Amino acid sequence: MIDDAQLQQLLSRVALHDRAALRSLYDATAGRLLAIVQRMLDDRAAAEDVIQDTFITVWSRAAQFPQLRTSPLAWLTTIARHRAIDLMRRRRPETSLTWHDADGHEHQHDIVDEAATPLDQLQRRQVDGQLSLCVGQLDDAPRQALLLAYYEGLTHEQLAARLKRPLGTVKTWVRRSLQQLKACLEDV
């Protein structure tokens, strides 16, 4: 095994973008780093990718090493561990769609479909269409007051200011429009 002084010397040469030094550093440390990362990930291919990313980082950050005042192997291990942890965070837990019972029979998990059924979608479209039809039957100014109240969340006072109408008029428009919509939707 190569000692810290030799690793520091290799890192100094890597900081100057010496490819042979990077190769020597890789040969001296990759096996140990791979063992650590593979233990973390339990996946050889993913661990090899992490080691590759580690040495790409070393290539670009080797000049920062002398400022850290740590062991070269500790620095390399830290970079590799952080890359492995980043990979684990990006992974989503995988759940198999099949499972085996105690007798060895294969079963499939039932997965609930959260989407609305076609019938629900059709009914929702019909209700939306009926609501649009009923809103279209309102007079222009009261319809505008009602839509501003519900789509923009305006209060009665804000509606009165925006529409430049008396507060009592706006309140009456909103109340009567809601009553007309209710009656229209009940008739349908």
Can you give 65-81 as a three-state secondary structure string? HHHHCCCHHHHHHHHHH
> Is the per-residue pLDDT at 142 higher than 80?
yes
**Mean pLDDT, range 175-180, rounded to an integer:** 92
Which H/E stretch holds residue 169? helix 167-187
Query: In the chain, pLDDT over 90 holds for what percent of residues?
Result: 48
This prediction has a pTM of 0.49
> Is the per-residue pLDDT at 130 higher than 90?
no
Q: Residue 39 sits in a domain of what CATH number?
A: 1.10.1740.10
pLDDT at 163: 92
pLDDT at 102: 86
Is the residue at 163 inside a domain?
yes
Structural domain count of the chain: 2
Is the residue at 83 inside a domain?
yes
Distance CA 22, CA 33 (A): 15
Q: Give the pLDDT band (50/70/90) at residue 57.
A: very high
Among 155, 5, 165, which residue's Cα sits nearest to residue 72? 5
Distance CA 92, CA 89 (A): 8
Q: Give the pLDDT band (50/70/90) at residue 181.
A: confident
Is the residue at 114 inside a domain?
no
Domain boundary among 52, 75, 90: 90
Q: Residue 151 sits in a domain of what CATH number?
A: 1.10.10.10
pLDDT at 26: 95
pLDDT at 93: 66
What is the residue range of 33's domain?
Answer: 4-90
| CA dihedral (80, 33, 77, 41) positive or negative | positive
Is the residue at 98 inside a domain?
no
Which H/E stretch holds residue 83? helix 72-90
pLDDT in tens, 101-112: 888 888 776 666
Q: What residue has token string 């090493």? A: 65
Is the residue at 47 inside a domain?
yes
Q: 27 and 71: one domain?
A: yes
- Residue 9 phi, psi dihedral angles, 5° rounding: -65, -45
pLDDT in tens, 14-54: 999 999 999 999 999 999 999 999 999 989 999 999 999 99
